[in-house]
Structure 1
Amino acid sequence: MDSSADDSASFQTLPLEERLSHKLWKARQHAYNELETVFSRLSIGRFAESGVEKYWKRPEVFTGYVLDSNVVAQESAVKALHGLLDFMVTVPQIRELCQPSLLVENWVPALVEKGMTSSKAVTKETSMACVLLVVSLDDNIVNAIDCLVPIWDKKLPKLLTAALTVHVKLVEQFGFVNVSQQDKMRILQGLVSVLPKMCSHADKTVRNESMQLILQLCTWFDKPVLQELLLGKLKPIQQKDLDKLFESFQGSIPPSSTPSQFVWAVPAQNDAGANDLVLDSDEDHAMGLSGDGNGNGGAADDQPIDPYDMFPVQSILDKLPNNFYQNLASSLWKDRVAVLEEFHDQTLSKVKKLSASNENYSELINKFCSTITSDANLQAVQISTNSLDVLISALRSEYNQYALETLNALLTRSKEKKPTVADSIFNLLLNLSKYYKLELCLESVLTHMKNKVPQVKIVCSKFLFELLSSWAPTEPPYKTLVFSNLTAILSSLQPIVNDNQQAIRNEGFKCVAILIKIFDERELSTYLDKLDNLKRKKILELVDKVEIKAVPQQNSKPVAPQSQLKPAASVVRSQPKNGQSNLSSTIPSKRLATSPLKPTRSSTLNGNPKSSRLTSRSLTTPQLQNVEPPSHFQSSKINSLQTNTLSTSQVNISNRMSHLNEEVNKLRQERQDWLKERNEILSNLNHSKLQISKLNKQLNESETYVSNLQRQLQESREEVHNKDLKIKELEGAVGNADNLISHKPANSPISSSSSMNRGRLTATTLSPLRSTKNLTPQRIRSPSESSDDLPKRVNSLNLNNHMLQEESWKRAAEVTNQLKARIERMRAKSRSGFNNLGVD
């Protein structure tokens, strides 16, 4: 007990600097407490004498104090820092005396990592208060958020919770005030890449703080933006929890006022008589602080964030399915649909941003356009349309190099009547028109409006109406390419307006009505006079109903600006009163009012209103010469020379401007001719491709036909060979028969019993009629018959046998002749079939 008292007595007598770096934590704590007391008693007017500036000029000193290894001493150090910051925010022009960004980079990470993760509740609360105070000295919350980025790679739950809590408080207390658009996108992109992982963290506190941070972000950014970037990545249960947070949220989304505790905002609020630290969001953005410490600089960018700018550039050509182009050219519709569906579902549906500078999409888009134009399967057309829609949304303005081919393909296929396919095609046209503007689409639309298919006319008219309603020219409408092509537009609309189908006429009426609303009725009066009263009445009734989505510039004809009209009035007032007529004095003003290209100072130089850019002589010169006395002849001559010089210069300027206008018109005409030629070349190219595909198809059919003919020829040859073999066999048989006939005996007398027996055997063999089975019972010799008549019966039998042999030889000759005739017919038939096959 005595030793501890001795230690306390020993370090209390040490100087402050030694105690701050003492090895004993009690000595350091004692020094931190003393610093807190000093800061609380500092005089604002005489703080420079105390040497306290060293703590904000060298912020790393207090960083070491906050990182004290002893939790009790650390609590005292954090309290001392809070006392210092509490004093600093009361010092006038403190932002000029210190570097707020340097303070944030040194103190905020230390307070979050060591202070807000402490086991002592007081240390946590004081550390959070210190973070808010030091950030209030800065221009915005950008530096504080940037210095906490390394914490997201840590795994300690309490450290992640501390970082999320700081983010929630920063957004809640300061918002995105005075933050540029680029910094907003960068911060949001970093948070949306981290929050889905934090929302799925194993620690419940981390998950809850992540939800709170998402809620605060939703108060500042549009929900569609966060839906694309963040909310769509959350699990269904997490989205339900977030919906419950929105229901219990008391504030307004977006916030009606911006809570701001920045030091630079306090003087403006005090001057306005405000007692609290609340700054309207519009006023806050209007201040436009740039962070120079003086509140001067450009205003922060208030444009809404486009999620497209925050997506990374992806690649798709390396993810094409195997044999993609081969299957796309297959004659089987199932192969084409399968490969299109695979590429769309597995790759294109996940694409958000592409770049045409990284990959060449010409072949891919050409295949999609060919499928849309010529594929008979509507499912393939539908998938190709959806695929092109993804490519347009991912490439945006970079798609313009492929837009003309796509536009022609869509307008050609607009003849499709199936609602799902027709709607997809029209929606794709509208998506394409966001980046491929009216001036570029006009020629193709007018060309396809001449199509004879009613559905194509309707779609082209609807598309033209949408283009005109969303048209936002960058110059007065009367100077645009659309106005110069107004006659061509009306000529293309003429058949539409006069069509015999009411649906087509109505679309034409709407197009004419919106042209009237854009360019005024007087510009279309000649066209309207050609219509009958009923059609004219319907068109004029639609003029008030149609709406222009984009606000065009003033529709009046170009006039001189107000700055040019004032000198004209001064010219009238400066005219001499000696015999000057009002008519002559008003001529220069009229010329000025209708000549916006004329310099403003040309009418007032030297106070001489008589100069004109058309002539060097003034209309009042003779009268002035008569009134002026002779003594002023020299001065009038000088004035006349000056007038001539000014007039000559004005004429030169006018000639030069007219020459430039001619050059511009010539360039525009050349551009139109080039576009027309380009469209013709592309059209011819597409036609040639179609012809090539047809020829390839015919070639395949011809090859198939030739192969069939060759197979038939081979079969015919085999058949002819078989018939030849059969003919040879038959000829051999005929030859044998001929030999038998040629060896027939002339007369065979029957004189002996042996010959009788041989003849009987031959007859029995050749003629079945002589067989014992065919003999009648009467011809069978019975044993009872007498043997006396045996010679007579033998002679009769020999005679019958001879007759039977004669009949058999005749029948054999007849069969032989029939076989020969049959062989000749078969030969003739074979020769005829072979000749016919050779002709084919």
Structure 2
Amino acid sequence: MSLRRSIDSTRATSTKKKSPLSSLVKRIFSSEAKMAEEEVDFSQLPLLDRFQHKNWKVRKEGYEAAVKAFEITPDESDPVFRPFNSDSGLWKGAAGDSNVAAQQEGLAALCAFLKYGGVQGAQRSRSHTIQPIYEKGLTSTRPVAKANAYEAVLLYIEVDKPDAVIEEILPALTHKQPKVIAATLNALTQIYHNFGIKVVDPKAVLKVLPKIYGHADKNVRAEGQNLTVELYRWLKEAMKPLFWSELKPVQQTDLEKLFEKVKEEPTPKQERFTRAQQAQMAAQQEKAATAGPEDEDEPQETAEAEEEPAEVDVFDLAEPVDAASKIPASFNDNINSSKWKERKDALDELFNILNTPRLKEGQYDDVVRALAKSMKDANIAVVTVAANCVEKLASGLRKGFSRYRSNIMAPMMERLKEKKQSVTDALGAAMDAVFNATSFSDNLSEIMAMLVHKNPNVKGETIKFLVRCLRSTRDVPAKDEQKQIAEAGTKLLTESTEQMRSGGAEILGTMMKIIGERAMGPYLDGLDDIRKTKIKEYFDTAEVKAKERPKPIVGPPKPAAAKKMVGGKKAPVKKAAPPPAEDPTPLQPKPTARAPPKTSAPTKPGLAASKLGGLKKPAASSMASPQRRVISDLSNADDEESAAPSPSKFGAGRGGLTSRSLAKPSAMPASPPPVPRDNGLGAAERAELEDLRLEKERMLSLTETLRAQNMKLSNEISELQNQNAQLIEDHTRDVLQIKAKETQLVRARGECDVLRAEIESTRKDSERYKREVSRLGRESIGREREDMMRGRQQYDEPSDNAYEESPARYSMHLNGNSRPGSTLQRTGSTTSNGSSRAPTARPPSNLSAFSPTEEKENAGSDGLAQAAMRRKISPPMGTSSAGRSPQRPQFGMSREQSSTSVNSGSGEGENWKRAAEVTSQLKARIEAMKARQGLTKPSY
């Protein structure tokens, strides 16, 4: 063990002693290696190898060498750019180099490549470099590297397509590192600050702004506010509808405070321009440098118009929304409901669908017809919501709404009769939206018709609408339209109310602002000074967007313009060849082909452009400045006068042929011949120019005629559409009436069937009753016969007293003169042993009172009732006390009479005459009953 320990200690000692030597050896070898590396010259390597070298110093040196090589290239087609265009991935390593020092130079090399390499290099390297730039370049700790990164982004916008660059940058806004998002937002702010919204479309950025305000990092939210304020400087209030509703109220309040600081600032101007804009500006400067005195005198109205910033419209920023597919299928049923609440709810739902900055074109015919019908609604809440829907629909469709204008404009203007201000304001806003979607000429016919309306509210609101149209239109009204407006305004000056007179003066003053005081003068002739003063006040305060350019005053041509400097020397001027003598009318057009231009003779530089090129393109000559057109017209007129014969030679002057003396004229002092003016045009060209002028006049007149016809046809179409709508309503009403009549007819038929069934049942019952009555009648006859036979057997011989009484009663029954009290008497007596004797019966006087003829006549309707009554009055004879009910008083006889007759007629012995009388009465009754039944004819 001791030996082992000694060996280990010896080794450790030797190791400690050798450590300085080994370190020295290492230093020597490392220094030699460094010297070897220093001896190697990396500058001889190609740029591509140095860009990919593992040593950062070599890469840094390569980046610096690339910058120097790019700066000395003559153009973008130099061979030095070729390897970098073919292998664009090299710039990915340069923009995102791992070494910060090398990355700084790599970003500088990328900027030089974009600056001198042109569009091709930017397009090919864009997809490789944008991500390293916003991940490592914009977040670099070195200020120079960060500045180079921002400059590279701006150069990509300047050289490449801005939309494509923004599309590559936007993914950085969803990066997981907040510092990358904040740096990217700062880069977007600088892009819009330098290039503006006309070069870089802000739609894509506005869509992601609400997500930025929901980020957890405060630096990201702060940079988002800076970007929003920068966009507000360009877009103003037009940007709010795109994202404002998605922000929280606190965020909206904070932004409003920031907007107040820049709201009063003028619209910013573009500070940095793209390559295309730079080329255009250079061409304009070159053109201005080479322009002559005539071009310098032209008004610069076009340039001023271009420099004037145009208002940004939210319609251009928003994406179109397909609202037609979102309208519910129950809309038509709800809008035609009889309850106003359901109609208003349907319109509210439609308003929420249409409430978007831009709508996609679709089929809105049914919707517009429903809105036009709602304008006639009795409920003003429904009318107000319908007007709001029209406003949103017209604002969202713009030009696509023009085909619906004729259906909705007239009903809205008719509804202006409403006195409530909220309704008229909603209708006015809707009409303004329709006007902005169409043109002034399209709406003029409806406006002129409503200016003579009998309702003062309609007339007053129409005046206000016409004034708003004149102020907002960008097209100067045509001559006939100016005349219509001026006549209508002059007529309003004679109205009885101050409001109408002021409205007429405002219309005339606004029109004067558009066409000028000189053009408005003829329409104001005949007006008194008070009215002219009022019109002049409105003229001074009116603000319009369309102004007619006044025609320049024609003056003599400038003599200095005849000669121009070309290359520091005066251009030689040649006299124009006079027209041939054999052509007496050089100004008339010839049917032959055009004469070839004279290319050998030099012409003026100012008139060279208006030679045959001007004849081939007459539209281009109309775009020239007014001063140039006037000078050209004057020169042409002078040439025509010099080429045509003098009017005095043909007797059209003061003296004519008769004023000339026939004598030989005296010698006159020789005068130099007039020098003809050279305009570079031959006779054929002048004739063709005159042809083109006449053709232009004909085309203008044809255009005016077609415009008037178009207006007339539009009015007819509107009337026909209104008539069609009215016919549809009438047809619907007629169909509903027909359906109601059919329903009533079906009900009547049903009731008729029920009544027929009841009649049939009643008829069957009647037949059954007749059969029953006939059966009862036969039974009663048989029973009476049986009773009669029984009565003959029971009767004894008649007594004298009975014989004495019977003749009078018998004669009464036979003659039919019985009194009401005389009825058939039935008497009976009871023996001591209880047996009853046959009562003495007489035929009732009531039955004998009916003659057979009367009974036959009454056998129809009340025959049955009479037969039943007779059966009740005359019960069968021979009833006993055991088998029959007690005797009841006869019909028409009181109790006292019946009791008296029974007592008086009672007797134990009845007379045979009484029996004979009863027998004859029974026979008469039997005959009468047979006559009633139709068995035999009655015997008298």
Range of TM-score over shorter length:
0.5 to 0.7
Note if contact 1:196-1:234 (Cα within 8 Å) is conserved in structure 2. yes
Match of 1:353 among 351, 358, 378: 358
Q: Which moved more, 1:645-654 or 1:415-424?
A: 645-654
Partner SS for 2:329: coil
The alignment's TM-score, normalised by the length of structure 2, stands at 0.59
Cα offset for 1:227?
Answer: 1.2
Query: Structure 2 CA distance, aligned partners of 1:45 and 1:527?
Result: 68
Note if contact 1:139-1:290 (Cα within 8 Å) is conserved in structure 2. no
Q: Does 1:308 align with 2:310?
A: no
Partner SS for 2:319: coil
Match of 1:211 among 208, 222, 225: 225
Partner residue in 2 for 1:296: 282
Query: Structure 2 CA distance, aligned partners of 1:458 and 1:57?
Result: 75
Match of 1:221 among 211, 234, 241: 234
Match of 1:64 among 73, 93, 110: 93
Partner residue in 2 for 1:544: 537
Query: Structure 2 CA distance, aligned partners of 1:45 and 1:377?
Result: 77
Query: Structure 1 CA distance, aligned partners of 2:255 and 2:879?
Result: 125
Structure 2: which amino acid aligns with 1:165?
A: A
Note if contact 2:185-2:224 (Cα within 8 Å) is conserved in structure 1. no
Note if contact 1:154-1:160 (Cα within 8 Å) is conserved in structure 2. no
With over 3 angstroms needed to count, the CA separation of the structure-2 counterparts of 1:512 and 1:764, relative to structure 1, is farther
Match of 2:135 among 113, 121, 124: 113
Partner residue in 2 for 1:483: 482
Match of 2:147 among 123, 129, 152: 129
Partner residue in 2 for 1:507: 503
Note if contact 2:321-2:358 (Cα within 8 Å) is conserved in structure 1. yes
Cα offset for 1:366?
Answer: 3.4
* Alignment coverage as a number of residue pairs: 698
Cα offset for 1:721?
Answer: 3.4
The CA deviation string for residues 268-291 of structure 1, in whole angstroms up to 9 with x for no partner, is xxxxxxxxxxxxx76947x89747
With over 3 angstroms needed to count, the CA separation of the structure-2 counterparts of 1:141 and 1:707, relative to structure 1, is same
The CA deviation string for residues 379-399 of structure 1, in whole angstroms up to 9 with x for no partner, is 443333222211211121332
Partner SS for 1:176: helix
Note if contact 2:460-2:499 (Cα within 8 Å) is conserved in structure 1. yes
Match of 2:731 among 670, 695, 698: 695
Alignment of 1:656-695 (within 5 A): 657-658=693-694, 660-695=696-731
Q: Does 1:234 align with 2:237?
A: no
Q: Does 1:758 align with 2:857?
A: no
Query: Structure 2 CA distance, aligned partners of 1:352 and 1:101?
Result: 36
Query: Structure 1 CA distance, aligned partners of 2:221 and 2:644?
Result: 82
Partner residue in 2 for 1:601: 635
Cα offset for 1:115?
Answer: 4.6
Query: Structure 2 CA distance, aligned partners of 1:515 and 1:331?
Result: 46
Q: Does 1:371 align with 2:374?
A: yes
Unpaired runs of 5+ residues, structure 1, are 258-280, 571-591, 780-788, 818-840
The CA deviation string for residues 425-457 of structure 1, in whole angstroms up to 9 with x for no partner, is 122112222243332222222223333333322
Partner residue in 2 for 1:78: 103
Structure 2: which amino acid aligns with 1:64?
A: G
Structure 1: which amino acid aligns with 2:36?
A: T
With over 3 angstroms needed to count, the CA separation of the structure-2 counterparts of 1:389 and 1:739, relative to structure 1, is same
Note if contact 2:60-2:105 (Cα within 8 Å) is conserved in structure 1. yes
Match of 1:198 among 201, 212, 225: 212
Query: Structure 1 CA distance, aligned partners of 2:391 and 2:274?
Result: 40
Alignment of 1:723-742 (within 5 A): 723=759, 725-726=761-762, 728-729=764-765, 732-733=768-769, 736=772, 740=776
Cα offset for 1:189?
Answer: 1.7
Query: Structure 1 CA distance, aligned partners of 2:735 and 2:94?
Result: 88
The CA deviation string for residues 324-380 of structure 1, in whole angstroms up to 9 with x for no partner, is 4455455555554444333332x212x322354xx34344333432433x4444444
Query: Structure 2 CA distance, aligned partners of 1:446 and 1:416?
Result: 20
With over 3 angstroms needed to count, the CA separation of the structure-2 counterparts of 1:504 and 1:550, relative to structure 1, is closer
Q: Which moved more, 1:191-200 or 1:619-628?
A: 619-628
Query: Structure 2 CA distance, aligned partners of 1:516 and 1:462?
Result: 17
The CA deviation string for residues 577-619 of structure 1, in whole angstroms up to 9 with x for no partner, is xxxxxxxxxxxxxxx99x9697121355599699889999996
Query: Structure 2 CA distance, aligned partners of 1:407 and 1:527?
Result: 29
Structure 2: which amino acid aligns with 1:682?
A: S
Note if contact 1:78-1:126 (Cα within 8 Å) is conserved in structure 2. no
Partner residue in 1 for 2:325: 318
Partner SS for 1:549: coil
After superposition, the CA RMSD in angstroms is: 5.9
Partner residue in 1 for 2:33: 10
With over 3 angstroms needed to count, the CA separation of the structure-2 counterparts of 1:504 and 1:491, relative to structure 1, is closer
Alignment of 1:162-177 (within 5 A): 162-169=180-187, 171-172=189-190, 176-177=193-194
With over 3 angstroms needed to count, the CA separation of the structure-2 counterparts of 1:387 and 1:617, relative to structure 1, is farther
Partner residue in 1 for 2:200: 184
Query: Structure 1 CA distance, aligned partners of 2:173 and 2:437?
Result: 45
Query: Structure 2 CA distance, aligned partners of 1:391 and 1:707?
Result: 42
Partner SS for 2:99: helix
Cα offset for 1:697?
Answer: 0.7
Match of 1:28 among 50, 55, 63: 55
Partner SS for 2:234: coil
Query: Structure 1 CA distance, aligned partners of 2:35 and 2:650?
Result: 99
With over 3 angstroms needed to count, the CA separation of the structure-2 counterparts of 1:131 and 1:528, relative to structure 1, is closer
Structure 1: which amino acid aligns with 2:364?
A: Y
The CA deviation string for residues 512-568 of structure 1, in whole angstroms up to 9 with x for no partner, is 55456656788788887888x7xx735642541354321554686x55445x66579
Structure 2: which amino acid aligns with 1:729?
A: D
Cα offset for 1:711?
Answer: 0.7
The alignment's TM-score, normalised by the length of structure 1, stands at 0.65
Structure 2: which amino acid aligns with 1:511?
A: I
Note if contact 1:408-1:444 (Cα within 8 Å) is conserved in structure 2. yes
The CA deviation string for residues 671-694 of structure 1, in whole angstroms up to 9 with x for no partner, is 313421331233023113212312
Cα offset for 1:29?
Answer: 4.5
Partner SS for 1:689: helix
Query: Structure 2 CA distance, aligned partners of 1:555 and 1:291?
Result: 29
Query: Structure 2 CA distance, aligned partners of 1:559 and 1:418?
Result: 50
Query: Structure 1 CA distance, aligned partners of 2:554 and 2:677?
Result: 30
Note if contact 2:493-2:501 (Cα within 8 Å) is conserved in structure 1. yes
Note if contact 2:60-2:101 (Cα within 8 Å) is conserved in structure 1. yes
Partner residue in 1 for 2:415: 413
Note if contact 1:324-1:339 (Cα within 8 Å) is conserved in structure 2. yes
Query: Structure 2 CA distance, aligned partners of 1:316 and 1:521?
Result: 47
Cα offset for 1:184?
Answer: 2.4
Query: Structure 1 CA distance, aligned partners of 2:269 and 2:440?
Result: 35
Structure 2: which amino acid aligns with 1:481?
A: D
Query: Structure 2 CA distance, aligned partners of 1:45 and 1:712?
Result: 105
Structure 1: which amino acid aligns with 2:207?
A: S
Q: Does 1:721 align with 2:727?
A: no
With over 3 angstroms needed to count, the CA separation of the structure-2 counterparts of 1:602 and 1:641, relative to structure 1, is closer
Note if contact 1:139-1:291 (Cα within 8 Å) is conserved in structure 2. no
Partner SS for 2:215: coil
With over 3 angstroms needed to count, the CA separation of the structure-2 counterparts of 1:367 and 1:105, relative to structure 1, is same
The CA deviation string for residues 159-202 of structure 1, in whole angstroms up to 9 with x for no partner, is 46324314415635x75335572x222xx122112222233235
Query: Structure 2 CA distance, aligned partners of 1:525 and 1:244?
Result: 50
Structure 2: which amino acid aligns with 1:74?
A: N
Cα offset for 1:701?
Answer: 1.9
Query: Structure 2 CA distance, aligned partners of 1:42 and 1:433?
Result: 61
Unpaired runs of 5+ residues, structure 2, are 1-21, 285-302, 563-625, 796-834, 840-877, 933-940
Query: Structure 2 CA distance, aligned partners of 1:333 and 1:83?
Result: 71
Partner residue in 2 for 1:277: none
